Amino acid sequence: MSLKATKILKNTPSIIASAAVGGKMENEGPMGDYFDKINDDPYFSAETFEQGECQIQKQAVLHALNKAQLQSEDIDVLFGGDLLNQCTGTTYGVRDFLMPFLGLYGACSTMAEGLLMSSVFVDGGYADIAMAVTSSHFCTAERQYRFPLNYGGQRTPTSQWTATAGGALVVSACKNPPYVRACTIGKIVDMGVKDANNMGAAMAPAAFSTISEFFADTGMSPDDFDFIVTGDLGKVGSRILCELFDREGIDIRDRHKDCGLMIYDFDEQDIHAGGSGCGCAGSMLCGYFIPQLRAGAIRNILFAATGALMSPTINQQGESIPSISHLLWISHESGND
Amino acid sequence: MSLKATKILKNTPSIIASAAVGGKMENEGPMGDYFDKINDDPYFSAETFEQGECQIQKQAVLHALNKAQLQSEDIDVLFGGDLLNQCTGTTYGVRDFLMPFLGLYGACSTMAEGLLMSSVFVDGGYADIAMAVTSSHFCTAERQYRFPLNYGGQRTPTSQWTATAGGALVVSACKNPPYVRACTIGKIVDMGVKDANNMGAAMAPAAFSTISEFFADTGMSPDDFDFIVTGDLGKVGSRILCELFDREGIDIRDRHKDCGLMIYDFDEQDIHAGGSGCGCAGSMLCGYFIPQLRAGAIRNILFAATGALMSPTINQQGESIPSISHLLWISHESGND
């Protein structure tokens, strides 16, 4: 079965372990109990926020390895990336593991891209055991993309709160749920949004494009899934996504979940339009959805993390914000029985 | 045959087309005739250097598609990345093509990483036709990594000249030379070099690590190849690489070629330690080596592009520069006859 953007994975690789790491705010949110490791110190005992973000990745990899009862030398390939320029959260976070490493750049879609790559490499026999990791950090992201925190800038109502979080997962050919059944590689979508404080609006059309493509390629529909999970569209982007599906006569509201709407408490935490960052979708997938899918409490999800491929430099030159979304069908059943 | 870092590609995907794009200095160098498209204007008729770099990628993709007699909708997946923060040369350069897109970050190793991914996706049947693209631009790289050009900073003797160049290639299961026979995924290597003006020294140990791993995994030796091609080690890094092999009792000097030593004329052009940038290895592979391998003038090469995963932010915080190198064995023969 050869399809343009959607690949059916014949050998349905298994996600054998996953781990989520978070900060203080993530712990205080409604999903706090689903993190494997919480760090109250935003510096993670390091000297700078950037070095702190490296610790998120290191912790996520170590916890995932530990759960899988594996050593770093058992990993055939590690896929990783993050929001920092030159993906330094990843590079410096994982360099000590000496794993064969392939760096990704997909902004907040990185967890989906990493899982997609891991699944393809294992499905095709190019790796026995593959791993994916990602992270984000509120303080590093604000400094790099908007203003240094010391500036004390006011955040707009449409702005999202970059999660100080990360996730790592291990994929192998082993036959334990959950399984990755298919994946859809996203296309870059740019609807002309130029507001660096409104990532949800920029990313929603990318999620719509990829999820629609999956349905068109496979003939499946929202009814086939417990949840359609998006990465971090937040309030603004989630509303746009639902409205885009409305136009096609499809109501996804009763099964749409957005990691950016799940991770924080809108009443108690000052997070404006919701959570964001690679670590938002990364930690919700690794900390919550994968364990639920493993246990069978959830049977089938589409996981479509979204990334705003935003560059402050080129944005200040007047350019709009292109976005992308990659999708995975993750299931409690392998479908090969 | 399952090996840790080296993957033997059973179906030996074919590189059916490639194209190289360069600027004025690249045209004036000894390899000028091997570029498919030259742009004398460093702005590429755009308003900023960054927008100019996007044009390199667009031109490279268009020329490669044209040579392969394909349309953008024929491409199942495009792998791309570059040196700019958030890989904007790629993102903004290719967004109009609407191809399924997977973003990479491998610094100057990107062409090797993209060819590796393209080869694995085609070899495993996850894509009928895959594409890889990358670029670099002297003016965008200097501004981002060191100083804006207007500053008029003095360059050190060990510094390299980022090529204003790019390359794109098309991989398919079709049976025409050259073929990708195997690939080795690199590990992050960090020997503690902290000098942002001496990338060659930072990258040489990564090239040594990956090339050595390929020889160990396959039992092959330098004698099996016409050339061992490194990405952009320049004078300093090339010398270190040869010395590292000397310690193992292996002399690679008579078959080592470095793209950073090939692309410019050291006597006539003021390029200090040599060329660098994703576009250096990218254009030399796509413009020179692939056509020579297709014609049979060269029979076998190892192509090991190297990337310095350097971040100005974290480098200024006192950190060293980790590096990586990915390797491809590219051959005139498929080995499947």
Where residue A149 falls among pLDDT bands split at 50, 70, 90?
A: confident
Instruction: Determine the residue among A2, A73, A82, A86 to mutate to test chain B binding: the one whose Cβ has the most chain B Cβ atoms within 10 Å.
Output: A86
Q: Could you tell me where the beta strands, DSSP code E, fall in chain A?
A: 6-8, 14-23, 37-39, 77-82, 101-103, 129-136, 161-162, 165-172, 179-184, 227-230, 256-258, 275-276, 300-308, 323-331
Per-residue pLDDT tens digits for B283-299: 999 999 999 999 999 99
What span, in angstroms and rounded, lies between the C-alpha atoms of A262 and A285?
Answer: 11
- Whose tokens are 């958030």? That residue is B86
DSSP state of A277: S
What is the per-residue pLDDT for A2? 43
Q: CATH classification of B13-172 is 3.40.47.40, yes or no? A: yes
Span of A102-106, A153-157, B127-131, B250-254 with lowest mean pLDDT: A153-157
Where residue A3 falls among pLDDT bands split at 50, 70, 90?
A: low
Where residue B148 falls among pLDDT bands split at 50, 70, 90?
A: confident
Parallel, antiparallel, or unpaired for β A179-184 and A6-8?
Answer: antiparallel
Q: Which residues of A touch B47 (CB under 8 A)?
A: 317
Where residue B2 falls among pLDDT bands split at 50, 70, 90?
A: very low
For chain A, the farthest-separated pair of C-alpha atoms sits apart, in whole angstroms, at 58
The CATH homologous superfamily for domain A10-172 is Stage V sporulation protein AD (3.40.47.40)
A270 or B304, greater pLDDT:
B304
What span, in angstroms and rounded, lies between the C-alpha atoms of B28 and B32?
Answer: 6
What is the per-residue pLDDT for A197? 87
Chain A nearest CA to B335, separation (Å): 19
Q: Where are the domains of chain B?
A: 13-172, 179-331
Matching fold, domains B13-172 and B179-331: yes
A179-331, CATH topology level = Peroxisomal Thiolase; Chain A, domain 1 (3.40.47)
* Intra-chain end-to-end CA distance of chain B, in Å: 18
Q: Which residues of B touch A92 (CB under 8 A)?
A: 314, 319, 322
Q: Which residues of A touch B203 (CB under 8 A)?
A: none
Task: Quote the mean pLDDT of chain A.
Answer: 95
Where residue B155 falls among pLDDT bands split at 50, 70, 90?
A: confident
What is the per-residue pLDDT for B150? 85
Determine if the pTM surpasses 0.90.
yes
What span, in angstroms and rounded, lies between the C-alpha atoms of A284 and A277?
Answer: 11
CB contact (8 A) between residue B100 and residue A186: yes
Other CB atoms within a 10 A radius of the CB of residue B299 amount to 17
- What is B118-157 written as a DSSP string? HHHHHHTTS-SEEEEEEEE-HHHHHHHHS--GGG-PPPPT
Chain B nearest CA to A152, separation (Å): 21
What φ, ψ does residue A153 adopt, rounded to 5°? -65, 150
CB contact (8 A) between residue A104 and residue B100: no
Per-residue pLDDT tens digits for B248-285: 999 999 999 999 999 999 999 989 999 999 999 999 99
Query: What mean pLDDT is predicted for residues A65-80?
Result: 97
What is the per-residue pLDDT for B1? 39
Per-residue pLDDT tens digits for B180-217: 999 999 999 999 999 988 999 999 999 999 999 999 99
Whole-angstrom CA distances from B335 to A181, B11, B178, B327 are 33, 10, 11, 18
CB contact (8 A) between residue B311 and residue A113: no
What ranges in A194-311 are assigned the alpha helix state H?
Answer: 199-218, 234-247, 259-262, 278-283, 290-295
Chain A nearest CA to B124, separation (Å): 5
Calculate what percentage of chain B has a pLDDT beyond 70: 99
Instruction: Tell me: pLDDT of B224 over 90.
Output: yes
Q: Which residue of chain A is at minimal alpha-carbon distance from B112?
A: A102
Q: Are B293 and B101 in contact (CB under 8 A)?
A: no
ipTM over 0.95: yes
What span, in angstroms and rounded, lies between the C-alpha atoms of A109 and A107?
Answer: 5
Calculate what percentage of chain B has a pLDDT beyond 90: 90
Instruction: Tell me: pLDDT of A226 over 50.
Output: yes
- Exposed e or buried b for every residue in A207-237, given b needs 16+ CB within 10 A? bbbbbebbbebbebebeebbbbbbbbbbbbb
Total CB pairs under 8 A between chain A and B: 164
Q: Which residue of chain A is at minimal alpha-carbon distance from B113?
A: A102
Residue B262 is which amino acid?
Answer: M
Where residue A304 falls among pLDDT bands split at 50, 70, 90?
A: very high
Tokens of B110: 């990107």
Query: What mean pLDDT is predicted for residues A308-329?
Result: 94
Per-residue pLDDT tens digits for A249-264: 999 999 999 999 999 9
Tokens of A249: 């006569």
A4 or A301, greater pLDDT:
A301
Q: Which residues of A touch B126 (CB under 8 A)?
A: 7, 120, 124
Instruction: Determine the residue among A84, A94, A96, A126 to mutate to test chain B binding: the one whose Cβ has the most chain B Cβ atoms within 10 Å.
Output: A126
A130 or B157, greater pLDDT:
A130
Q: Which residues of A touch B99 (CB under 8 A)?
A: 187
CB contact (8 A) between residue A91 and residue B322: yes
Instruction: Tell me: pLDDT of B43 over 90.
Output: yes
> CA angle, A99 as apex, A278 and B236 as ends, to 5°?
100
Q: Of A48, A107, A319, which is closest to B317 when you measure between CB atoms? A: A48
Span of A34-38, A48-52, A97-101, B4-8 with lowest mean pLDDT: B4-8
CB contact (8 A) between residue B86 and residue A311: yes
Q: Which residues of A touch B128 (CB under 8 A)?
A: 2
Q: Which residues of B touch A95 (CB under 8 A)?
A: 188, 190, 322
What is the per-residue pLDDT for A1? 39
Where residue A155 falls among pLDDT bands split at 50, 70, 90?
A: confident
Instruction: Tell me: pLDDT of B300 over 50.
Output: yes
Query: What mean pLDDT is predicted for residues A57-62?
Result: 98
Indicate the angle between helix axes A234-247 and A199-218, nearest 10 degrees.
Answer: 40
Instruction: Tell me: pLDDT of B59 over 50.
Output: yes
What is the per-residue pLDDT for A337? 63
What are residue B6's DSSP bridge partners?
Answer: B184
Chain B nearest CA to A187, separation (Å): 4
What is the per-residue pLDDT for B337? 63
Would you call B313 exposed, middle or buried from its count of C-beta atoms within 10 A (0-12, 13-18, 19+)? middle
A118 or B146, greater pLDDT:
A118
